[in-house]
Structure 1
Amino acid sequence: MNTAFTPELLERIIDNQAEYTRPLLFVGARVHLFDSVVADMDDADILLGEGFIVGTGPGIVTAAGDDNALVIDCAGMVIVPVVVDVRAALGLTAERASDVGTLWPGNTGSFAIVDGAIAADAAGAISTLLTHPESVAAIVLDGRVVLWNGVRTANAPDRTEKALTGAATPSTSPYLGMWIDESGFLHQELTADGRYDETRGGRPHAFQGSFWIAGDRIDYLDDLGFWAFGEFVDGILHHGPYTLTRR
């Protein structure tokens, strides 16, 4: 546990987000921006507005009082994006506006803070995120602290089922029935028990499995073990290269 990341400080941060009257200022960390233009920064600060980064770099802390910032001491910490955009890091995006995840002002405030004693560089910090999240000091998503000293906060989304939370009970879905593509090659039947059955090129039961529907998205888990998805748009089911209508 990082002693600077106290429960009392977390309470102040969460209380502040109701009106976001004070920006959050994370100070004194080694910041890995994952930006091809700007190098990583030692002893740097990140000023966080409501959901986005206002400033990145050394010396921002000098204006903390002027901005009435809520300061989080990150000395000895490593900060990395939680969305790693290799394209941006290698300079393979056409423009900065298309970069995802870089810790550049104007981008979404989503990053992780890891103790430098555990991870001395970006690779170590990201590895810790993936393998030992309980050791991560904090994770900020869209400007809100969702993990604090390895523990999920009240801001953390409640997703206990892999990608399927909120999926409609099949018996209540308006999309049940037989769906056939334009050529007649693919017939896909969605039944009220949450099962699908595909006929392909006249070959019955070519693929069978379970499905879940959330909004206009359908997720498939085939009995062979692979996952797939489709999307309903204006009464049309788009599934891979196929466009299906209900018959």
Structure 2
Amino acid sequence: MSTTVPDSVAWNQQAFQEIVSNDAGRPVLFTNARIVTADPLVGTMTGADVLLVGSVIVGVGPGIVTAAQDDNAIVVDCTGTTVVPAVVDTVALAGGRERRAQYVATLTPGNTADLLVVPDGLAEDIPGAVATLFTRPAEVRALVAAGTPVLWAGTDVPGRGTAPATGVPAAQDLTGSPRVGIWIDREDFLHQELTAGGRYDETRGGRPHAYQGRYWIDGDRIDYLDDLGFWAFGEFVGDELHHAGYVMKLG
């Protein structure tokens, strides 16, 4: 992707340009930071590094910079800043998970590279750093989602994703879609008809019109808005539709 660096970008400007123009898959190293990993094994480190390759964290700790330079990494000097997970596993932070393998939003090698970089004085802990993002975004040094900058030096990154517009979307025209039809679960209990006009109609246990409403398909995801007002979700997996514990196939 080719992105012009805004005039307002002063923090690690060259590194930012290299990151957004990184077509060669070079690693990206955030170095010399205080890192609050939220991982109970790794803990918090000072003067440490986080190494990203694509959308994944591949290394955390001191001394990675030497190897990263050997690998032609893009180096982001984070002196005076704290790096925290951008997605917070509040259940884990409150002690609600028993095993480390269950911690899903930590700066742990193998996890998705979602991280937030904030000046030390505004990031005493993870909640403080996240609060800075919402109350003083101009002070944020970097917000990275799956390895891609979203916010840099307090400025929105050009070409960043935008949130969907608020409100219920318009109906989709699904004429000709292979996913239109009647989906039936393995026990023949649930029949879910998806129409080309974006409406669904469920028969449950022989009870017709048990639930009716609108639906939208986005890739392999399907969202339902029932006429009663609640939202639900499903996923297409191969030739199956998984929804609320049911596994269905086209009848």
Relative to the length of structure 1, the TM-score reads 0.74
Q: Does 2:213 match 1:206?
A: no
When structure 1 is superposed on structure 2, of 220-229 and 139-148 the one drifting more is: 139-148
Task: Give the residue type in structure 1 aligned to 2:194.
Answer: L
Higher alpha-carbon deviation: 129-138 or 37-46: 129-138
Partner of 2:182: 178
Q: Deviations over 1:178-214 (max 9, x none)?
A: 3344555444322221111223345443322110123
| Counterpart residue identity of residue 237, structure 1 | L
Say which SS state the counterpart of residue 51 (structure 2) adopts: strand
Q: Provide Cα deviations, 1:83-141, integer angstroms capped at 9, x if missing partner.
A: 3346766573365xx65343234544331112333332212113344666565321223
Verify: 1:44 aligned to 2:48, yes or no.
Answer: yes
Identity, in percent, stands at 49
**1:10 paired residue number:** 16
Partner of 1:242: 246
Identify the residue that residue 138 of structure 1 maps to in structure 2: 142
Residues 203, 209 of structure 2: 8 Å contact kept: yes
Distance 2:245 2:230 in 1: 17
Gaps in structure 1 of 5+ consecutive residues: none
- Cα 1:205–1:41 change in 2 (3 A) is same
Contact 1:25 1:61 in 2 (8 A): yes
Asked if the contact 1:176/1:191 (under 8 Å) is kept, the reply is yes
- Which range moves more in the overlay, 172-181 or 61-70? 61-70
Are 2:121 and 1:117 aligned?
Answer: yes
Please give the alpha-carbon distance, in whole angstroms, between the structure 2 residues aligned to 1:66 and 1:215.
39
Q: Provide the C-alpha distance between the structure 2 equivalents of 1:68 and 1:235, rounded to a whole number of angstroms.
A: 43
Q: Does 1:93 align with 2:107?
A: no
After superposition, the CA RMSD in angstroms is 3.8
Alignment deviations for residues 64-95 of structure 1 (CA, whole Å, 9 cap, x no partner): 76665433222222211223346766573365
Residue in structure 1 matching 2:61, options 57, 60, 80: 57
* Counterparts of 1:48 and 1:238, CA distance in 2: 33
2: CA distance, partners of 1:201 / 1:54: 49
* Structure 2 unpaired stretches of 5+: 1-7
Among 117, 123, 130, the alignment partner of 1:126 is 130
**Aligned partners of 1:36 and 1:88 also within 8 Å:** no
**4+ residue segments displaced more than 6 Å:** none
Distance (whole Å) between structure 2 residues aligned to residue 242 and residue 74 of structure 1: 48
* TM-score normalized with structure 2 length: 0.73
Residue-by-residue CA offset, 1:16-65 (whole Å, 9 max, x unaligned): x21145x4332332211111122211232223344444443345457776
